[in-house]
Structure 1
Amino acid sequence: MILVTGGTGLVGSHLLFKLISEGENVRAIYRRKHKLEEVKKVFAYFSDNPNAIYNAIDWVEADITDIPAMESAFVSINLVYHCAALVSFEPDKYNILKKINIEGTANVVNLCLTYHVKKLCYVSSIAALGAPKPSELFIDESTQWNKELDNSVYAITKYGAEIEVWRGVQEGLNAVIVNPGIIIGAGFWNAGGSGSLFKQVCKGMSHYTTGTTGFVDIWDVINAMTLLMKSDITNEKFVLVSENLTFKKFFTDVANQINVASPKKEAKQWLLSLAWRLDWLRSKLLGKRRKLSKQMAKSAVSKTRFSSDKIKTQLEFEFKPMEVSIAETAKLFRQDFDEN
């Protein structure tokens, strides 16, 4: 039997659809019951009978930080896909990020060892990769993490989670890690991931930033994960990036696909520096949640490029062009938007 943590997230829900469609015996962990409706909605994008797929899953209510609740989920499990994580770039969320991303992953690793799980796939992020040297054009799996840099709290905790996986490997666990770029996929339009970017563009964006980063389609992530788990490859990590795009191009392409105006004004670095400071002040004075951190402002103008040559070579893997991915996701976004 296969266990999926984070079954009610973007990666988890799409992974569940693929696994059930392929006839696998699957158990999934969820933390909040109302999120299950979002999963059914994702299934409905790709199936005329989403309830049948949903009902084929053995759902277990548990929190990855609650070991006793998790233990029952690991009974009779052979393979584990660890997709559960908290995504936040708010500096004051460090403690909760640490608890969920690092301690939660440590719990999953320990339970994998205790229950003799054959293989673990951990979903990390390109945020957990290192920074390239001046002579290096691309970031890949060999790029060294630099703890001296001003890393975001999210990046720090995802890197810490990877350390827990490697610790499990040292104790006898077979594992693979994937480091996806910004994942483009349908659903969860309000959840703060790539779906919320489509909604943000739909509402209207006047400014764009000049930074560059890696993007990848959700199905490429899912296919890479399942191929790696079926392969003999163990104890390695893989960058999953289809293309390195500027934020301007990404937001412009999304705007064109959902038929709204694209951003026309460049957000200069000085403007972003002012914006994150004002956001900090607003948070301190009014108790509001941070919307823009110093690290987010920096990444918005950083030209960071990633290489996925490793998985292309080892698995002869081909990525979907981002133009196609954005168009497919925008079509489903428009479908939901028109219904509302």
Structure 2
Amino acid sequence: MSGELVVVTGGTGFVGAHCIVRLLEAGHRVRTTVRSMARADEVLQLVRAGGPRAAASADGVEVIAADLLHDDGWPEAVAGASYVLHVASPFPMRQPADENELIAPARDGVLRVLRAARDAGVRRVVQTSSFAAVGYGHAADPGRPYTEEDWTDPDGRNVTPYVKSKTIAELAAWGFIDREGGDLELAVVNPVGIFGPALGQQLSTSVELLLGLLNGRAPAVPPGTTTGVDVRDVADLHLRAMTHPDAAGERFLAVAGDPITFHELAILLREQLGRDAKHVPTRVLPRWLVRVGALVNPELRAVLPQLRRSQGASHEKATRVLGWQPRSTDDAIVASAESLVRLGRVKP
């Protein structure tokens, strides 16, 4: 119960809201940023949905406006903070035509946060990066699970604007710390696909994918695999990376276990949710059809990198260094789906 002030950027986001919940449960004071104060009440609603312990402290959460594309507001946002969890970053369902729509806010945003944090005497920033900065753009899988030593080649084949933005942003953060970070420490969390319970109507991209399956938006599931982790465990890893003395200067993969095929995911939903999953398709799209469809469909284009990879990744470092123990991928996926049913998002 330190009572130290922690700033969370992007408090209305899927990961950001869960980080606030976890911080309040741990006894921290919390300030969070939103792009517009019109969303301030939304933050508090999400926190209250996170459980009774967080709900009891929700009114104490301070909300301040700060935009990743502008300098205004960031000095005020981090003033007096011991730590910053820089979670805010765009993750679209559709890839933009201009990759700089994602790269600029991701790269310039993290530099604004780091610069403000350094100037304010913040002890450590934890940046939410992604597996996108680890396992893409290579000619082939490394023949072993990906680890924190691996880096995406942003100029590699089938690297989407989102993947490039996360890689460039993380590289920019480490470069800033090396060149001009002063006493500021940096730790980075690199999650795979994030599932787990939704706290409100604003959904993550991974949970949106589940919602599409549950509502039968497509006649079949794509081929390929995905890896997953529960958002509650991602928030827990942020807190561990925030305070553990051995986390400074390190990156940590947040992954629950082995890859799961989209077909296995669909079967899991059918088995665990019963009638609530009656619209979930179990047929698999042929690979050639995905490739053809990707020529005109941005969502299918984003699936292309998954067709020839297992995306196996290891959480050995997070477990060894920080004592992190994630839930299973199956549990995370089912928790997502059950929350969507509770929220009334799944059609009868």
- The two structures share one fold, judged by TM-score above 0.5: yes
- 1:21-74 residue CA offsets vs partner (Å, 9 max, x unmatched): 222111100114454454344334333587643321111011122112222112
Q: Aligned AA for 1:245?
A: I
Distance 1:144 1:46 in 2: 34
**CA 255–53 in structure 1, closer or farther in 2 if over 3 Å, else same:** farther
For 1:49 and 1:138, how far apart are their aligned partners in 2? 37
Question: How much does 1:8 deviate?
Answer: 0.8
Shift of 1:163: 1.3
CA contact (8 A) 1:7 1:29 kept: yes
Identity %: 22
CA shift for structure 1 position 91: 4.0
The residue number in structure 2 matching 1:236 is 250
Alignment partners' CA distance in 2, 1:91 and 1:296: 15
Q: Partners of 2:299 and 2:142 in 1: how far apart?
A: 33
For the residues of structure 2 that align with 1:44 and 1:331, how far apart are their CA atoms? Answer: 18
| Equivalent residue for 1:152, pick from 153, 160, 183 | 160
Which residue number in structure 2 is paired with residue 245 of structure 1? Answer: 260
- Tell me how far apart the structure 2 counterparts of residues 49 and 220 of structure 1 sit (CA, whole Å): 17
RMSD over aligned Cα, in angstroms?
2.4
Instruction: Give the 3-state SS of the residue equivalent to 2:99 in structure 1.
Output: helix
Moved more, 246-255 or 114-123: 246-255
Matched residue, 2:16: 12
Is the counterpart of residue 84 in structure 1 residue 88 in structure 2? Answer: yes
Gaps of 5+ in 2: none
Structure 2 Cα separation of the partners of residues 44 and 68 of structure 1? 29
Please give the per-residue CA displacement for 1:70-117, whole angstroms capped at 9, x wherever unaligned. 221121122100000011351414122122101111111111222121
Partner of 1:115: 120
Q: Is the 8 A contact 2:215 2:346 kept in 1?
A: no
2:255 alignment partner AA: V
**Match of 2:300?**
292
User: Secondary structure of 1:314's partner?
Assistant: helix
Q: How far apart are the structure 1 equivalents of 2:312 and 2:70? A: 37
Contact 1:189 1:196 (8 Å CA) reproduced: no
Matched, 1:198 2:207: no
**What letter corresponds to residue 163 of structure 2 in structure 1?**
A
Q: 1: CA distance between counterparts of 2:54 and 2:172?
A: 35
Aligned to 1:140: 147
Q: Is the 8 A contact 1:3 1:77 kept in 2?
A: yes
Call closer, same or farther: CA 1:220–1:30 in 2, change over 3 Å: same
Question: Equivalent residue for 1:69?
Answer: 73
Asked whether the equivalents of residues 66 and 74 of structure 2 are also in contact (C-alpha less than 8 Å), the reply is yes
- Normalised by the size of structure 2, how large is the TM-score? 0.86
Structure 1 residue ranges, 4+ long, deviating more than 4 angstroms after superposition: 33-38, 48-52, 131-135
Q: Write the mapping of 1:1-340 to structure 2, written as runs, cut at 5 A.
A: 1-33=5-37, 35-48=39-52, 52-88=56-92, 89-131=94-136, 135-150=142-157, 151-170=159-178, 171=180, 172=182, 173-187=184-198, 188-189=200-201, 191-204=203-216, 205-233=218-246, 234-243=248-257, 244-258=259-273, 259-261=276-278, 262-279=280-297, 290-293=298-301, 295-300=302-307, 302-337=309-344
Counterpart CA distance in 2 for 1:189 and 1:257 is: 22
Aligned length: 329
Aligned to 1:285: none
d(CA) in 2 for partners of 1:257, 1:93: 40
C-alpha spacing 1:339/1:130, structure 2 compared with 1 (3 Å): closer
CA spacing shift, 1:303–1:81, aligned 2, 3 Å:
same
Write the letter of the residue equivalent to 2:228.
Answer: F
1:209 CA drift (Å): 2.5
Structure 2 residue matching 1:226: 3-state secondary structure: helix
Shift of 1:230: 1.4
Q: SS of the counterpart of 2:294?
A: helix
Looking at structure 2, the residues matched to 75 and 106 of structure 1 have their Cα atoms a distance apart, in angstroms, of 16
Aligned AA (2:168): G
Q: Return the offset for 1:134.
A: 5.1
What is the distance in 2 between the residues matched to 1:190 and 1:200? 14
In structure 2, C-alpha distance between the alignment counterparts of 1:298 and 1:130, rounded to whole Å: 10
| Deviates further, 61-70 or 142-151 | 142-151
Aligned residues of 1:178 and 1:239 also touching (Cα < 8 A): yes
TM-aligned CA deviation for residue 120 of structure 1: 0.5
CA distance in 1, matches of 2:296, 2:162: 21
Q: Distance in 2 between matches of 1:239 and 1:339?
A: 31
